[in-house]
Chains A and B, each alone.
Chain A
Amino acid sequence: MSNISRDEVAHLAKLARMAVTEEELDTFAGQLDQILDAVAKVGEVAGDDIPPTSHAVPLTNVFRTDEVRPGLSQDEALAGAPAAEEGRFRVPRILGEEQ
């Protein structure tokens, strides 16, 4: 049972900024279906009385005190960047998507 359409795969690919070929749309739609079906099995087992788990450890309110700690220097921060300029990370231009 195919739940994921080619259009949905194309949309997801766009959100994930991935270039996907026409054939890959079919391949991924099928593969994503299998993954979703497998995950859906969990839903069959878990009853209404079992809330979804987001955190495996029952902890709350873990806070840090508001004190400055040493971080990275500019050189260290940029050390792993593929490109840098004027102390900043340099990235390709962004098309029409100002946040």
Chain B
Amino acid sequence: MTTAELMDYAEVIERYDPVLGLEVHVELSTNTKMFCGCPNSFGGDPNTHVCPVCLGMPGALPVVNGTAVESAIRIGLALNCDIAEWCRFARKNYFYPDMPKNFQTSQYDEPIAFDGHLDVVLDDGEVVRVDIERAHMEEDTGKSLHVGGATGRIHGAEHSLLDYNRAGVPLIEIVTKPITGMGERAPEVARAYVTALRDLLRAMDVSDVRMDQGSLRCDANVSLMAKGAGEFGTRTETKNVNSLRSVERAVRYEMTRHAAILADGGSIKQETRHFQEADGTTAAGRTKETAEDYRYFPEPDLVPIAPTREWVEQLRATIPELPWQRRKRIQEDWNLTDEELRDLVNTGAIELVAATVDAGADQADARSWWVQYLNQQATSRETELADLVITPAQVARVIELVGSGELTNKLARQVVDGVLDGDGDPDQVIEKRGLKVVSDDSALLAAVDEALAAQPDVADKIRGGKVQAAGAIVGAVMKATKGQADAARVRELILERVGA
């Protein structure tokens, strides 16, 4: 494989305006498939979640999954779309063994939801509105395994093996309008859009939104316009983009590849390309069939869908607080600066902090723990904040113990470390590791007396009015009590003792 010529990114931005179009496929987490009662679940032995309908056997009659339609309408509403008063399914005809029917049931010119938008927050807090063209219902395809030749790849394969467990799983395809004017931030916008969409769908509980398992997939259409040109260039569609980071990389790579070809006087071939995770490049796939070649026509086996306005309004009422609304409300409730909010969002701590507050902690304490100490722990343990074994309730308990003086900040961190190490909840860790603050004055006084006796010159200084000299004695006491004393109380006792 020859390495494609690429243009330096800064030069791309100087000479061209990128235009993006993002198509996101979302597998709904319904119990059953779109048109039959087969279970909709990831994996399973091959061809065990199948029936005559999803295998396309003659005479089988599909019936629409009502819950999937509800999810489609709810997604449309959350994306600020209009909901069609009447729409039909259509057959998208192509011969390829991933659909045993020789067509995919989809929607063509009558999508259930259209003309919406999604506000997307970039890393620096800037909000970009992405216009949504449509969201339509369709079904997923089966999975092909290419045997022989290079592993799993189609080139050189001798034959293919088909598993139809996934064929017929409900899919919603969400298509943006062309995203223009983003300049150098286009790749970032693409990632931020897919991130916002994922967060939205997760909050609505309509999909697992696992990019690694394919329940959320993004196809990135990229084209370049020469600066000042009014017309869009020829686009390529990059598939196989399996992570948020890959969305950004794939868009950036295609921009630099297109630019090099265009600058060299060449033209872009309209084709499907495949993102290669390993080196961040794309490779040519098939030349795209035109819509005409799919010979769409209304699906005669499924009756039209005509959502009543009452039904649509009922569904609107079920849409939960959406991620950006929630962020805005939390910012107001807690009186956070934009920067403080961004720290919460970027570290992925926002829901954890909210849960800690719900468990009784003060929001400032909860934020400090999650954004600072626990975030550092997650990084050093090479895991995500949300995957740490400590729960928000446990963090709230630690905060409570600090507040009541039973733990110092230093001890609290040791307790948290214990929880993270799997030693149980905070109270168990305190018990096991003997971490409680020594609040028994008589025990502290003994340590104070010992320290004063050991450093009589310091004791004299304090007595002579140099109160700041007490620090050395405090340090000695803290050392003697293995950090388990309350430093403020120790200082009071020292001053009492020397009579200063």
Task: Enumerate chain A interface residues (CB-CB to B < 8 A).
Answer: 15-17, 54-55, 57, 59-74, 77-78, 85-94, 96-99
Q: A15-B293, A72-B51, A91-B162 are in contact. Are A62 and B303 (CB under 8 A)?
A: yes
B47 part of interface (Cβ distance < 8 Å): yes
CB distance from A88 to the nearest CB of B (A): 4
B30 part of interface (Cβ distance < 8 Å): yes
Report which residue of A66, A70, A92, A94 has the largest number of chain B beta carbons within 10 angstroms of its beta carbon: A66
CB distance from A54 to the nearest CB of B (A): 4
Please determine whether A61 and B47 come into contact, CB atoms closer than 8 angstroms: no
Please determine whether B97 and A71 come into contact, CB atoms closer than 8 angstroms: no
Please determine whether B32 and A68 come into contact, CB atoms closer than 8 angstroms: yes
The segment from B37-45, B247-255, B313-321 that touches chain A is: B37-45
Given A55-B298, A66-B32, A91-B97, 15 new contacts (CB under 8 A): A15-B295, A16-B95, A60-B305, A63-B69, A65-B66, A66-B68, A68-B32, A74-B47, A87-B163, A89-B100, A89-B162, A93-B158, A96-B286, A97-B286, A99-B286
> Nearest CB to that of A96 among chain B residues?
B286
Q: A15-B295, A62-B63, A68-B32 are in contact. Are A74 and B45 (CB under 8 A)?
A: yes
> Nearest CB to that of B90 among chain A residues?
A54
CB distance from A15 to the nearest CB of B (A): 6
Expressed in whole angstroms, the Cα–Cα distance for A99 and B96 within the complex equals: 8
B213 part of interface (Cβ distance < 8 Å): no
Please determine whether B38 and A68 come into contact, CB atoms closer than 8 angstroms: yes
Which residues of the partner chain A approach B100 to less than 8 Å between Cβ atoms? 89
Please determine whether B157 and A93 come into contact, CB atoms closer than 8 angstroms: yes
Please determine whether A87 and B46 come into contact, CB atoms closer than 8 angstroms: yes
CB distance from A99 to the nearest CB of B (A): 5
Please determine whether A62 and B51 come into contact, CB atoms closer than 8 angstroms: no
Please determine whether A72 and B161 come into contact, CB atoms closer than 8 angstroms: no
Please determine whether A77 and B159 come into contact, CB atoms closer than 8 angstroms: no
Which residues of the partner chain A approach B368 to less than 8 Å between Cβ atoms? none
Q: A71-B49, A71-B50 are in contact. Are A98 and B55 (CB under 8 A)?
A: no
Expressed in whole angstroms, the Cα–Cα distance for A28 and B63 within the complex equals: 36
CB distance from A89 to the nearest CB of B (A): 4
Interface secondary structure of B, over-half rule: loop
Expressed in whole angstroms, the Cα–Cα distance for A74 and B306 within the complex equals: 37
* 26 contacts across the A-B interface (CB closer than 8 A): A16-B95, A54-B304, A55-B303, A59-B303, A60-B304, A64-B66, A67-B32, A67-B37, A68-B31, A68-B32, A71-B38, A72-B51, A77-B55, A78-B47, A86-B161, A88-B46, A88-B145, A89-B47, A90-B159, A91-B162, A93-B146, A93-B148, A93-B160, A94-B144, A96-B155, A99-B94
Which residues of the partner chain A approach B147 to less than 8 Å between Cβ atoms? 85
Expressed in whole angstroms, the Cα–Cα distance for A98 and B48 within the complex equals: 24
Residue in contact with B63 in the complex, picked from A64, A71, A73, CB distance below 8 Å: A64
Expressed in whole angstroms, the Cα–Cα distance for A69 and B65 within the complex equals: 12
Please determine whether A90 and B161 come into contact, CB atoms closer than 8 angstroms: yes
Which residues of the partner chain B approach A96 to less than 8 Å between Cβ atoms? 154-155, 286
Q: A71-B51, A90-B159 are in contact. Are A98 and B304 (CB under 8 A)?
A: no
Expressed in whole angstroms, the Cα–Cα distance for A73 and B39 within the complex equals: 13
Please determine whether B37 and A64 come into contact, CB atoms closer than 8 angstroms: yes
Expressed in whole angstroms, the Cα–Cα distance for A66 and B32 within the complex equals: 6
Which residues of the partner chain A approach B63 to less than 8 Å between Cβ atoms? 62-64
B88 part of interface (Cβ distance < 8 Å): yes
Which residues of the partner chain A approach B486 to less than 8 Å between Cβ atoms? none
Which residues of the partner chain B approach A90 to less than 8 Å between Cβ atoms? 159-162
B373 part of interface (Cβ distance < 8 Å): no
B285 part of interface (Cβ distance < 8 Å): yes
Report which residue of B47, B159, B305 has the largest number of chain A beta carbons within 10 angstroms of its beta carbon: B47
- Which 3 A/B pairs are nearest by Cβ-Cβ distance? A69-B37, A63-B66, A71-B51
Q: A59-B303, A71-B37, A91-B162 are in contact. Are A66 and B48 (CB under 8 A)?
A: no
Which residues of the partner chain A approach B48 to less than 8 Å between Cβ atoms? 73-74, 77
Please determine whether B45 and A61 come into contact, CB atoms closer than 8 angstroms: no
Which residues of the partner chain B approach A77 to less than 8 Å between Cβ atoms? 47-48, 50, 55, 164
Please determine whether A93 and B45 come into contact, CB atoms closer than 8 angstroms: no
Expressed in whole angstroms, the Cα–Cα distance for A59 and B63 within the complex equals: 13
B300 part of interface (Cβ distance < 8 Å): yes
